[in-house]
């Protein structure tokens, strides 16, 4: 059930009404929201409801046992079991075929030929997201950040439908306390919610779908049939597509949750305005960045050890972050590129500090240069993220170099405008958006409805026929 569909609109209208009818009857509300979330998740494939139910029961049991035990050794053992269980579940469904085929290819290269039968396993939508949320819950209880909640509360948290299939990764400490709050429909910022939902729809339906169908899919599908200019624009267009697609989803998820009375953390903050790779990861998929920092990078040692250990920790975090996105070596390469440049930035900072050199002046031209360089490093990495294989990435990069001057029919004015708009929208000042939302909230409700109806009509007219699944559904 995709967000930008009539089916979801009907589903959400029913859920929204019942949500506020039952909001003061906490147990009934939780049972209803759990049922609605399982229905939403099961709409994709009902059998995977059993998977999320098993994950819920397993992690709640581990959390309870950890909390009740005063023996540090036993607590560490249960935590290890919980981590192994979650990663084992994720590994089986997401990485089984990848590991088997990789091992087979490696053995074949050293002269040991085997032909194992690889079982086709359907990847459950959103498994990476709800697994990471469950892990954060168990780990935070091990760290004594907070105490376990009831099984019903945890089940609602793990399956809550606005974020269950593609994030943002909402931590237990961010969501569970809201279950205890008194929710009042009169205090819901509905204007902001509808504003976010429309912005998300526009990003997904108009921008992301348009550049995908007009240039990205064609060029990455058959790079050898396209000119260097088409390849270059397609790379830029994919950077815009994945931003508009994923940030559009999270805008809608945040808006939908807000209508239900719940607040989600921000997940994007103008990532293509970043002046460094470190700054990029403070702005891109922010909930994942913080998760990797707090539950992987810092436990590995962070930057507390030697420079070599810091580089190791950065590379491990980013390579594993790349593998989290997909079971392919191209995702590992994508993570390694980011890890390498993050390490380079750390090395440059350390070298400057060792020499006692001051920070360069923060001039406009310096910021422009930093943003251009950072954006192109990110785009270079996106080639491997989007490519189906290393051969596909090699063809893309090869065509980028050697085929200038050829006809470029896919580079149309509308494509260039869409790409430019997708990048420029990230430079809109935050206070301007805040003022726009405030102005919209002061409009009488009737005219708000008229404005939203007109906006939806324009979005439907400008967008291609049909709505493709969100890119991050596969992760």
Which residue numbers are catalytic?
325
Separation CA 175–CA 55 (nearest Å) = 18
Q: Is the separation of the CB atoms in 185 and 23 below 8 Å?
A: yes
Contact predicate 134/171, CB 8 Å: no
CA-CA distances (angstroms) from residue 189 to 77, 179, 207, 260? 45, 18, 26, 10
Whole-angstrom Cα distance, residue 434 to residue 351?
Answer: 40
Rg (CA), the chain: 24
Question: Sign of torsion, CA 147 125 193 29?
Answer: negative
Cα→Cα distances 60→54, 79, 164, Å = 10, 12, 17
Chain center to CA of 91? 19
Q: Phi-psi bin for 411: left (phi > 0), alpha (psi -120 to 50), beta?
A: beta
CA–CA distance from 416 to each of 119, 206, 207, 466 (Å)? 43, 14, 11, 22
In whole angstroms, give the CA distance from residue 244 to residue 246. Answer: 6
What 217-220 contacts at long range (C-beta under 8 Å, 24+ apart), as own/partner pairs, is 218/410, 219/396, 219/410, 220/386, 220/387, 220/388, 220/392, 220/396
Pair 255, 189: CB distance under 8 Å: no
3-class DSSP state of 303 = coil
Q: Output the six-digit token pair for 447.
A: 């005219």
Q: HSE (CB half, 13 Å, CA atoms) of 76?
A: 3
In terms of C-beta density within 10 A (0-12 exposed, 13-18 middle, 19 or more buried), how is residue 446 classed?
A: exposed
Which of 287, 278, 264 is CA-nearest to residue 169? 287
Task: Report residue 64 as tokens.
Answer: 């309870």
The count of other CB atoms within 10 Å of the CB of residue 23 is 17
First-last CA distance in the chain: 16
């Amino acid at each position: 059930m995709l967000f930008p569909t009539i089916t979801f609109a009907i589903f959400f209208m029913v859920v929204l009404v019942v949500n506020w009818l039952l909001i003061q009857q906490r147990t009934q509300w939780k049972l209803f929201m759990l049922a609605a979330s399982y229905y939403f998740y099961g709409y994709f494939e009902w059998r995977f409801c059993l998977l999320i139910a098993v994950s819920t029961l397993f992690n709640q049991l581990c959390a309870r046992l950890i909390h009740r035990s005063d023996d540090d050794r036993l607590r560490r053992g249960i935590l290890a079991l919980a981590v192994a269980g979650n990663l084992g579940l994720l590994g089986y469904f997401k990485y089984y075929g990848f590991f088997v085929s990789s091992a087979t290819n490696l053995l074949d290269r050293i002269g040991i030929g085997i032909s194992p039968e690889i079982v086709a396993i359907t990847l459950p939508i959103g498994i990476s997201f709800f697994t990471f949320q469950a892990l954060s819950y168990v780990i935070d209880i091990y760290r004594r950040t907070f105490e376990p909640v009831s099984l019903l509360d945890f089940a609602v948290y793990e399956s809550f439908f606005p974020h269950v299939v593609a994030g943002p990764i909402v931590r237990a400490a961010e969501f569970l306390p809201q279950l205890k709050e008194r929710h009042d429909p009169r205090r819901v910022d509905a204007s902001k919610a509808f504003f976010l939902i429309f912005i998300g729809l526009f990003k997904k339906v108009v921008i992301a779908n348009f550049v995908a169908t007009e240039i990205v899919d064609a060029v990455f599908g058959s790079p050898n049939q396209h000119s260097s200019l088409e390849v270059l624009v397609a790379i830029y267009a994919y950077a815009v597509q994945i931003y508009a697609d994923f940030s559009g989803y999270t805008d809608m998820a945040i808006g939908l949750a807000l209508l239900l009375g719940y607040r989600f953390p921000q997940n994007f903050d103008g990532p293509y305005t970043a002046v460094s790779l470190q700054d990029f990861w403070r702005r891109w998929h922010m909930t994942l960045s913080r998760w990797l920092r707090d539950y992987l990078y810092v436990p590995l040692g962070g930057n507390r050890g030697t420079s070599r250990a810091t580089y190791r920790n950065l590379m491990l975090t980013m390579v594993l972050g790349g593998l989290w996105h997909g079971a392919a070596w191209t995702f590992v390469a994508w993570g390694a590129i980011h890890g390498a440049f993050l390490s380079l930035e750390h090395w440059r900072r350390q070298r400057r500090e060792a020499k006692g050199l001051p920070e360069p002046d923060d001039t406009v031209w310096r910021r422009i240069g930093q943003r251009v360089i950072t954006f192109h490093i990110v785009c270079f990495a996106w080639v491997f993220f989007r490519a189906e294989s290393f051969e596909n990435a090699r063809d893309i990069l090869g065509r980028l170099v050697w085929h200038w001057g050829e006809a470029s029919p896919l580079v149309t004015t509308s494509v260039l405008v869409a790409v430019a708009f997708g990048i420029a929208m990230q430079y809109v000042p935050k206070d301007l958006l805040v003022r726009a939302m405030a102005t919209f909230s002061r409009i009488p409700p009737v005219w708000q409805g008229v404005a939203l109806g007109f906006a939806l009509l324009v979005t439907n007219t400008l967008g291609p026929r049909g709505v493709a699944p969100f890119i991050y559904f596969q992760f």
